[in-house]
Structure 1
Amino acid sequence: MLEFVPAHQIIARGHNIFWEDPKFIPAWVRNLSGPDLWSAVNSRIQSLMTKYKDQFIHWDVSNENLHFDFYEQRLGHNATLEFFRTAHQADPLATLFMNEFNVVETCSDGKSTVDGYIARLRELQQDGVYMDGIGLEGHFTVPNPPLMRAVLDKLTSLNLPIWLTEVDISNSLTQEMQATYLEQVLREGFSHPSVNGIMLWTALHPKGCYQMCLTDDKFRNLPAGDVVDKLLKEWYTHEVNGQTDEHGSFSFSGFLGEYRIVVKYGKNRTAASTFSLGRGDETRHFNIQL
């Protein structure tokens, strides 16, 4: 898979190193404690980070830490802190995340309020943990865009990049309603300045689609797939043509990303170059000389 991914210009993130929910922890690990468990968790971090160093841009180091605390119960309150420290030492270039559900989806889950998430992240930061990002899973039934916006605004106070890491819409709804609500979530996430990326949770299991899929088993678009294609086309700067003013200037507005520019003067003079349009409040100026 990791040969296929870069060959098709796909970037991968690692999910996850530790899942705190005992239901998803192997039985042999659940039977360990003390030094034996520490040995096992250190072996896991080192083996993963060594084998896949520089291949994943992100790692979800601790998954669903607000809801579950298997490792902290067995190893003490500082276990998560040590996980992050060890992961950073093993791969200093990877962006390290906590990942959690029911933060942007609802305000009725007492275990994962936005204030609780902020408090947990600040606690880890104060203890010296090296953390780079906030992961929000985004498993929605009926989304609440104003709540979602308010949560993202609050999390912005941490000055960390935010990713929507597992966005899907419940299969308790029709495919048409899934598509409608997916568009609301994607537009809200894409428009927020602190959201650096969005990943969809379009997982399959042996019996078919887990919750939300973009295509059927013949790779024909479902309504959710139509929404994604529509938004990708909308959020893309297409070819822009124009003529410079008397000062030799030409302006355009575009989405963040990589651009290729070609300038022509008369019949024989042409210059080409590339530039990157990144975040920032100021207008970017790029010069090209004929």
Structure 2
Amino acid sequence: MMYALPFCFLLLFFLADPPLAAPYDGPLYDFSAYTQCKTRAEGPLYNGGILKGARWDIPRVLADGVYSPAFVLRNLTTGTKYCFSSWVKIKGADSAPIRASLMSEKKTINCVGTVTARRGCWSFLKGGFVLDEPLDYSLLFFQNSDERAVDLAITSASLQPFTDQEWSTNQQYIINTVRKETCSHNPCSKHTGREAARSRNYSRASSKDFPFGSAIAKTILGNLPYQNWFVKRFNAAVFENELKWYATEPDPGNITYALADKCWNSSEQTRLLLEGTISSGRTQVHACMGSEPFRPCPTVSCQQQDSKSNEQRLGADATLHFYETAHQSDPLATLFMNDFNVVETCSDVNSTVDSYISRLRELSRGGATMSGIGLEGHFTIPNPPLIRAILDKLATLQLPIWLTEIDINKTLSKETQAVYLEQVLREGFSHPSVNGIMLWTALHSYGCYQNVPNR
């Protein structure tokens, strides 16, 4: 399946009505992505970018003696967003997790992008990287993540650089067209007659309709200054731990929702869109409350890594049973699969974008009614081109995507955390398939989750 914001529409927008004062003549970001293996590969994005005409079969011998296709890259610059994509086909195995990496004398980026490649057809890899220092000479190469010996073929490779300004301009285009409603005096103006005729078209930001929130904990109860601070900044909330099993059943057989009810009632008074998180093991069940008029809209979420553990203990259909039970309890529930390290990195072989998609499709075939995609987003150093590429591939599923637990690692300075947090929020808000963003920042006596002192 392919997902793309129509390229011709992007082009017409920039030519006919540029969003900035000066006309934009830089590259337009291509949202195209594919998740099905194809007998014939599509052409390269951006007509190949700086790889146009480059050969991919420069051999590089890996540790296992296998030759990997590789590209020689020269004069890569600091801060530039490099968007990479290619089609991959393998021999020697039915399927294999293929990883693209970048190596130079100065540094190695272990993962630029991944794809689960299959024998006999072409699979689409999409990713990218940003450098913190210039590289005069580097190799971009491919290898099998599980270290089995497989033969690789590459075609339609592309590497497109974006400056910071070009990246920002493309983001702003999406915000102007997707996050704002263009209104004329007819539907939006209260004026009539000549006043209406003189009124100009304008854009009314719909950002207030975009769910943007944070985790809350019991510390918000009775804390009026914190409540006022919260509702001025957010229109959504998620229970941090108050609906997890160890909160609702502190002792075996002693089930209580008293604390969760208090948090619910507090949020209901401020008309927040509210999510609560229940956990069985580490399988999460979310409850999303809100809408007009105010009514519960429960959301179930299950981490794919932890579902394997559940199935080892509880049976092969344990995860599917969780979804079925939630759906039977409330047929209006929106069911999500929530996981970590899908959008944060591509180095975790257990949480690649393709493994996430495969697991979601497996649950859907088993009868689960899957209504959304949950990405936790616990970042250390964000990689904006990779984030965008992963969101593009997930968007092929045509399901709403939520960033559910955004935070930045506490090992970084507060100033750096702020810079990286803004990068992540801008990537989420400027992607047309992201429907909501939640921060994992419930307030405690020690601060937020990523301010917990090392113990």
Q: What is the TM-score of this pair, normalised by structure 1?
A: 0.58
Give the Cα–Cα distance (whole angstroms) in 1 for the partners of residues 306 and 325 of structure 2: 23
Q: Which among 277, 300, 304 is matched to residue 60 of structure 1? A: 300
Q: Which residue of 1 aligns with 2:348?
A: 109
Distance 2:297 2:403 in 1: 15
Give the match for residue 278 of structure 2: 16
Q: CA deviation at 1:174?
A: 0.9
Structure 1 runs (4+) greater than 4 angstroms displaced = none
Aligned to 1:5: 267
| Structure with more of its chain in helix, by fraction | 1
- The equivalent of 1:70 in structure 2 is 309
Deviation at 1:55, TM superposition (A): 5.5
Give the gaps of 5 or more residues in structure 2.
1-262, 288-293
Give 2:205's aligned residue: none
Which residue is 1:174 aligned to?
413
Does structure 1 retain, via aligned residues, the 8 Å contact 2:304–2:359? no
Listed one character per residue, the Cα deviations across residues 32-81 of structure 1 (whole Å, up to 9, x for unaligned) are: xxxxxxxxxxxxx9xx98xxxx954342332x222553321122221111
Q: Secondary structure, in 3 states, of the residue corresponding to 1:199?
A: strand
TM-score (norm 2): 0.38
Q: Which residue in 2 is equivalent to 1:154?
A: 393
Q: Tell me the CA shift for residue 208 of structure 1.
A: 3.4
**1: CA distance, partners of 2:402 / 2:348:** 20
Partner Cα separation in structure 1 for residue 282 and residue 311 of structure 2? 9
Is the CA contact 1:98–1:135 (under 8 Å) kept in the aligned structure 2? yes
Contact 1:72 1:78 in 2 (8 A): yes
Structure 1: which 5+ residue stretches go unaligned?
A: 25-44, 214-290
Higher strand fraction (1 or 2): 2
CA distance in 2, matches of 1:169, 1:10: 24
Q: Percent identity?
A: 59
SS of structure 1 residue aligned to 2:396: helix
RMSD: 2.4
- CA distance, structure 2, for counterparts of residue 107 and residue 171 of structure 1: 21
113-122 or 154-163, which deviates more:
154-163
Greater RCO, CA 8 A, separation 6+: 2
Residue deviations 1:243-268 (CA, integer Å, cap 9, x gap):
xxxxxxxxxxxxxxxxxxxxxxxxxx
Report the counterpart of residue 254 of structure 1 in structure 2: none
Instruction: Give the whole-Å Cα distance in 1 for the aligned partners of 2:266 and 2:430.
Output: 31
User: How far apart in 2 are the matches of 1:201 and 1:90?
Assistant: 28
Determine which structure has more spread, i.e. the larger CA radius of gyration: 2
Q: State the alpha-carbon separation in 2 of the partners of residues 95 and 208 from structure 1.
A: 31
Inter-partner Cα distance in structure 2 for 1:212 and 1:58? 30
Cα deviation, 1:143-166, whole Å, max 9, x if unaligned, reads 001000010000111111110000
Would the aligned equivalents of 1:202 and 1:210 in 2 still touch at CA under 8 Å? yes
